[in-house]
Amino acid sequence: MPDLPDPAPPRHAAQPAAPRRILVAGTSGAGKSTLARRIAAASGLPYQEIDALFHGPDWTPRPSFATDVDEFTAQPGWVTEWQYDSVREQLADRAELLISLEYPRPLVMRQVITRTIRRRIRREELWNGNREGPLRGVFTDPEHIVRWAWTTHGSRSALVTDAARRRPALEVVRLRHPREAEAWLARTF
């Protein structure tokens, strides 16, 4: 009987490459920056807090914001938050993965209020010398971070849906509780 060739080795499906350009979306206080930092640490990708690029001294927008975002996201890999209307489309166009933190409003409000009070009491510097304003601002300033979190809570999911509809190649992961975020992070990186 003639020698038969060895059977071909079994073929294994290639593992999909881990995403290299990652956005984290959600309302203020949901935990975007915290999750983005953790993804960067787990993946080895560079992280840039987008608020630090946007806010100059005295909470003024930095003139170089759009250029700085362009330069950072021109890299082959990165992690940042998905916010600011002036760069939102550019960020989504360059991303491979958009993680949407769609946590319940009571959870988000507890997080943003706790964080705001802690920062105010400790006088923590945020970006470029800025600190949280007086807590009474929640009653007088329509853009106070606590009011902003309340009023924008429901609109973030619709922005994600629209971005995904217009970019079929953009992978979207919707997380509805911090436990889901923990599980996703553990199995992804």
Statement: the pTM of the whole predicted model exceeds 0.85: yes
Residue 23's H or E segment, with its range, is strand 21-25
Half-sphere exposure (CA, 13 Å, Cβ side) for 27?
Answer: 26
Q: How far is CA 37 from CA 1, 50, 96, 134, in A?
A: 63, 12, 17, 27
Tokens representing 48 are 């840039």
Taking the mean position of all CA atoms in its chain, how far away is CA 179?
A: 17
Q: What is the percent of the chain with per-residue pLDDT over 90, rounded to a whole number?
A: 86
Is the pLDDT at 165 greater than 90? The verdict is yes
- As a whole number, the mean pLDDT across the chain is 92
81-92 pLDDT, tens per residue?
A: 999 999 999 999
100-121 pLDDT, tens per residue?
A: 999 999 999 999 999 999 999 9
Q: Which domains does the chain have, with CATH numbers?
A: 21-104+155-188 (3.40.50.300)
Residue the block writes with tokens 């020698």: 3
Task: With H, G, I as helix, E, B as strand and everything else as coil, classify residue 171.
Answer: strand
Tokens representing 146 are 């606590």
99 with 164: CB under 8 angstroms? no
Confidence of residue 18 (pLDDT cuts 50, 70, 90): confident
55-79 pLDDT, tens per residue?
A: 999 999 999 999 999 999 999 999 9
Amino acid at 181: A
33 with 39: CB under 8 angstroms? no
- Looking at the DSSP bridge assignments, the partners of residue 173 are 99
What's the pLDDT at 135?
Answer: 86
Is the pLDDT at 9 greater than 50? The verdict is no
